[in-house]
Structure formats: C-alpha cells, structure tokens
Amino acid sequence: MKAGFVGLIGLPNSGKSTFMNLMIEEKVSIVTPRPQTTRRRVHGIWSSEESQVVFVDAPGLVTSKPGLFDFLAKEAKEVMAESDVLVAVLSLDLKSAEEAESIIELIAQAKKPWIAVINKTDLSAFSHRILILRTMLLKYNVPILTLSCDNKDLFLKEVRPQVLEVLQKLLPESPAPLYDPELYTTENIRDMVCEIVREKCFLNLKDEVPYTIAVRPIEFKEEAAPMPRINLEILVAKDNHKGILIGKSGQLLKKIGQESREEIQKIMGTKIFLGLHVSAREDWYKNNRIMKELGYHHEH
Ligand SMILES: Nc1nc2c(ncn2[C@@H]2O[C@H](COP(=O)(O)OP(=O)(O)OP(=O)(O)O)[C@@H](O)[C@H]2O)c(=O)[nH]1
Ligand SMILES: [Mg+2]
C-alpha cells in the first residue's frame, strides 16, 4: 500500500486548514478569516484499502520574529522537513506575486515530491491571477490543481477525488498504514476543545487582540457526573485585553462560551459543562515556561 505525510505549506490565510478539513471531511483544524490562525501542526488522516494520506496542516509561513512568530515559522519548516510530499497552497487573494514565488521556491528547495494547489478560485475578481500563478509554476513541472474550498459539495464530489489521485501517485510505498484507519486525527480531545474556544475568540473579536490569545485546560474531567466538566483558561497578553474579551456585562465571553459549547458537544457526543476564565499574563508569548505549557515549543 501507499502511505505517508503530506505537508500543507503556504502563506497565512491561504486556506490550508479549510482544505485539510474538507479532504478528511471532519473539522480538525480551526479556521478563521484571520491570518496566523493555525499555530501547531495538526494531523488529518484519510484512509482507504490501498492508501493512507496523513495531511499535516502547518501554520502559514511568516518571516521570523521572536516569540510566537518565531515558533510558527519553525513549526512550518519542521513540517516541510518531516513530510513525504508537500502541497503548496496558493490563494488568489495573495498580497503580491513575490510572496507566492518565495513560497514556491522554498518548497522546491526541499527536494521532495510536491504539487501546487491554487485555492479560492471562486474569488472571480482575481481570476486573472490563475494564469500568473500557473506561469510561475511552469518551470517546476509539478501537478497543478485549481480549486475552491467555498463549495463543499462540489469539492467533495469533484475536487477531492482528483487531489487524492495525484497524491497517491507521489506517496511512498508502505507495508501498513501509519495510523489506525479508523482514526481521522491524532489530536487529543483536550487540544481540540482548547482550539475550538480559540477559534470562537478569534471569530468574535476585532483588532489585534486575538493574535495573542491562548487557551489551556484548568480542569478536564470527562468522567464527571452528570456531564463532563471542562474549565479552561483564556490567556490574553495585555491587561486591557481582558475587558475586551469579556465584553459589556460579560456578554461577549458568554457568546464565545455558547458557540464553543455547541461545537464541543457535537464532537464529544454529550452535553458538557464549560467554564471559561480569562486571565492576563503580560506578553505570555515571550515567556518560555508558558509557551512550553501551551505546546508552542520545539525540543531543539
Ligand atoms: N472565498 C474563499 N474563501 C476561502 C477558501 N478557502 C478558505 N477560505 C477562507 O479563507 C480564510 C482562511 O482560511 P484558513 O483555512 O484558516 O487558512 P490557513 O491557510 O489555514 O490560515 P493560517 O492557519 O492562518 O495559516 C477563512 O475565512 C476561510 O473560510 C476558498 O476557496 N474561497
Ligand atoms: Mg490554518
């Protein structure tokens, strides 16, 4: 059989997480309209009798800056190093052609089999860019798929089979699947729950506040009666962000809590108790201990 890791590499906001979720037909990676949503690599698994594709969703590539951004850049590069096949996720709403070119060059330099995905083709105002990107890719002689993640039904019916066919040709031979074919992710439930809350924070906030939000468990009792008991801490990096997140008479935090609970209940298949506690830790992303606790940490 064929099995391997397929790393999704691209600029922030190009649609990597949306693409992975659609490929495996499960929501594993959080998606928001903001760049730099994904912070850690997330595995999404697609299995059949003959093959297993382990998608590795990575943070968008950003120029290295200290702290959190430095972690994101390293994380994306590690994903490139560890993958068997790479997918360059390019989107039509990119800021400049140079940005796309630098991603393509970086991927080509990795000397691994790769394909290019040109995403967001539904944005018709940018249709002319399809040709620009195709021309840019010509010299690499790699498969190019133009697609949109906007129409789920069409994606599942037409796009997904094409992507899988192309990827299966590039995957290495393997004596057995890499993971239990029943699994669709290697993420654990705690991490998924924290990510859902971070997504709802991002979706409900404006300005720069959400970039510096992190969520971690305080209490996670799946066996509690009468229902699982989950208390989470939402870390903000500035004291004044706390009030913004909580909102007037707690309305915003309540809304974030309700939206999160609904989604968590769906994936856990049971009603839950969810408590959210906001605390300010000045510039937590510069604090190695907190970064490590949050899993934003590299061994080397
Ligand atoms: N119009 C349109 N929007 C899309 C498409 N694919 C993704 N999006 C939107 O683009 C935004 C970013 O999507 P994500 O999947 O979070 O992008 P990402 O590449 O994972 O971003 P980072 O995690 O920040 O690197 C979201 O608002 C998506 O709904 C598409 O094909 N068309
Ligand atoms: Mg993402």
Query: Would the pLDDT of 113 be above 80?
Result: yes
Residue nearest atom 13 in ligand 1 by C-alpha distance: 15
Tokens of 143: 């498969």
Our answer on whether the CB atom of 120 is closer than 6 Å to any ligand 1 atom is yes
Domains and CATH numbers, the chain: 2-170 (3.40.50.300), 189-293 (3.30.300.20)
Q: What is the pLDDT of residues 132-151, one digit of tens each?
A: 999 999 999 999 999 999 99
Q: What is the pLDDT of residues 206-227, one digit of tens each?
A: 876 778 899 999 999 999 999 9
Q: CA-to-CA distance for 41 and 75, rounded, in angstroms?
A: 7
Answer yes or no: are the C-beta atoms of 201 and 210 closer than 8 Å.
yes
> Quick one: pLDDT band at residue 267, thresholds 50, 70, 90?
very high
User: Rounded to 5 degrees, what are φ and ψ at 138?
Assistant: -50, -45
CA of 18 to the centre of ligand 1 (A): 6
Q: Which amino acid makes up residue 162?
A: Q
To the nearest 5 percent, what fractions of the chain are helix, strand and coil?
A: 45, 20, 35
Query: Would the pLDDT of 194 be above 80?
Result: yes
Our answer on whether the CB atom of 93 is closer than 6 Å to any ligand 1 atom is no
Give residue 102's pLDDT. Answer: 85
Cα-to-chain-centroid distance, residue 284: 22
Q: Mean of the per-residue pLDDT values for the chain?
A: 93
Query: Would the pLDDT of 63 be above 60?
Result: no
Answer yes or no: are the C-beta atoms of 235 and 245 closer than 8 Å.
no
Coil, strand, or helix at residue 163? helix
222-238 mean pLDDT: 96
Q: Is the dihedral of CA 197, 203, 205, 210 positive or negative?
A: positive
Q: Which atom of ligand 1 is nearest to the CA of 147?
A: 31
